[in-house]
Amino acid sequence: MLILTLPALAAEAPDTEVLRTFLSQAAGKDVPEKFMCVEKPALPEPFAQDDQVFVLGTKVKGRGCVRQAIVFRGRVEAEMSALPAVLGDAWKGLDGDTREDVVNTWTRDVLHVWDALESGPKVTSSGKNTTAEVTLLRRTKVPMVAEELGAKWTFDPAGMARVEETDPVYWQSRMVLKANNAKGITEEQVMAGLESAGKIFEKCFWAAWNQDPQVKERTRLTWNVMDGKAEQVASRQQSSGQLAQCYANALALAKFEADGFVDMDFGVVRATLDALPTE
């Protein structure tokens, strides 16, 4: 079991530099602060209510935050033994239902804190073991490609864990544009106007995908083109006001060759891949 310690940390929460030291030791290299990910999950009872559990990760290009360490009261615990280390003697005294609740919370808020869960955790008890199964979508280093896989965590009577993962299925997402209606301006002129704004529309989608690789919404915008500029932009259908607003802001940078009215969908297409493509 990996245990890293620094003195006099149990009385108060470690500061950023201490956490960075922990993270660098766990990662085996110096991790600059700008590449740190820190999550302090709000764990309910029977977990200790002293805010001393931290999940540490590194920011990896394309993937986002990748978990590296779990810190509890001035120690970095190996992920497979972290749960009983945090609960101490309380784990052994839990009844079946409470133990399942604890495993559910731990799996969701600690072990998969930066993964997009498509389903689960589904927690069951069999004999003396407690299992948690999840289906998750995790970003890869390849832009707009995520891997879908299942993970099964099994906790033995002492709280020690082991994990089994299924072979991943790779999904590629891409943004598609479709003009529903254009009056006074051709579809080619609309597309040329959008291209004049550069890659900003792709950046809107990229930012949304980075937050949630499951993003698959359709945003419908209408606008009037006056003197070559988009005016009176309105959102007709969307599931994320933030993404729709980003698209609307991008339209302000577009320059169109003709005036008219435009009704357009900004959609997402997802398709499976046979293998993970090269970057």
Pick the CATH number of 173-273 from 3.30.2420, 3.40.1800, 3.40.630, 1.10.10: 3.30.2420
Tokens of 23: 């993270």
Q: Residue 22 in contact with residue 30, Cβ under 8 Å? A: no
Q: Is the pLDDT of residue 133 over 90?
A: yes
What is the DSSP annotation of 148-190? EEEEEEEE-TT--EEEEEPPPEEEEEEEEEEEEEEESS-HHHH
Hey, which of 47-56, 118-127, 203-212 has the most confident mean pLDDT? 118-127
pLDDT digits (tens, 9 = 90+) for 44-95: 989 877 768 999 999 988 788 999 999 998 889 999 999 999 998 889 889 9
DSSP state of 14: -
Q: Is the pLDDT of residue 237 over 70?
A: no
Q: Where are the domains of the chain?
A: 3-167, 173-273
Q: CB-hemisphere CA count at 13 Å for 263?
A: 6
What is the DSSP annotation of 25-64? HHHTS---GGGEEEE---PPTTS-SS--EEEEEEEETTTE
